[in-house]
Amino acid sequence: MHNFSAGPCVLPREVYQQAAQAVLDYQGSGLSILEISHRSDDFLSILAEARSLALDLLHLDKSKYKTLFMQGSASLEFLRVPYNLLKTEAGYIDTGVWSSKAIAQAELFGKVRLMGSSKITQYRTIPELVLENSSLDYLHFTSNNTIYGTQFNEVPKVNVPLVCDMSSDIYSRTFDYSKIDLIYAGVQKNIGPAGLSMVLVNESILGKTNRVIPNILDYNEHLKTDNLYHTANVFGVYSCLLNLRWLQNQGGVEAIEKRNESKAKLLYETLDTLDFVETYSDMNCRSNMNVVFHFNNKSIDAMFDDLCKEASVVNLKGHRTLGGYRASLYNALDIESVHVLIEVLNQLEKQV
């Protein structure tokens, strides 16, 4: 199968195989990974390696940054970020549905200043930013927008702490990660199976709101307890570790970026040659993770769907708010799958 799902998405086959074996017997222990204690030496070793490798792959300074695997999703971080960081006023950049949801949660805790929005272009672009010097508590942006296929090319240059939702492009490319003080991501794209979020946080930005925060939502509480405030999602963290090890063995983010660029270039070049196809995002901010397109005649959809089914190409439907199609090219998607999709498009061209 050639799975272009926007998430949960394809993971490396060797990760599936290793995880499946661990479900039956974790490293000869006679126990399933599903039943080992979150306080056991086995899991403490898994957690420590995963937290360390998460930072190593992005070249983040471990004396400043710490990793947290949090139960829930990135949507919970929309709430947890302002709860922990917003004292008076925060800046947000609006690039679509997910940033809008983050803004709505932040408004529960203080004033939100819109520092840029691409709403006027139906989120086809990355907006021009109004980044004057300010006393903002932090600036939040979403690095990649899965629904519209747009992506920031660089980290915004500001003099306040930066927060970034990197759910859909973390570990996919080189980026100036050290300029970002808090990175969060739902793990179900390039990190692991759904059910967790990962937070990479510069500890120096925490504890400044003078707010009483419920323990479960307090980043500092999770740090003080070494990410073991409550029973951990043992299998989820283990699966993330397997995927991070795989990424390291591929040559790290630097190597995977080249593969991702090649996949995206091949697909965009093909789509640009077809006069019955329109891509959604502006060319100067196209995402290498999510290629969003539609046909200029709805009658073509059924033909395309049939060809995809014959070729075992699945999960191309666009987000329900936009429609059309979306090919997600996450790290584990092999370039062969892109070639198969391109062949489907070439066959479609002959029928149109």
Q: Residues 153, 271: contact at Cβ < 8 Å?
A: no
- Binding site residue list for pyridoxal 5'-phosphate: 74-75, 98, 146, 165, 188
Given the residues 94, 165, 169, 218, the one annotated as active site: 165
Distance (Å, whole) CA 45 – CA 52: 11
Rg (CA), the chain: 21
The Cα angle at residue 249 between residues 246 and 252, in degrees rounded to 5: 90
- Binding site residue list: 39, 74-75, 98, 146, 165, 188
Distance (Å, whole) CA 178 – CA 172: 16
Given the residues 94, 98, 218, 263, the one annotated as active site: 98
* Residues facing 286 on adjacent strands: 150
Given the residues 189, 218, 246, 263, the one annotated as active site: 189
Task: Reply yes or no on whether 189 is catalytic.
Answer: yes
- Binding site residue list for L-glutamate: 39
Distance (Å, whole) CA 164 – CA 183: 5
Which residues are identified as catalytic? 98, 165, 189
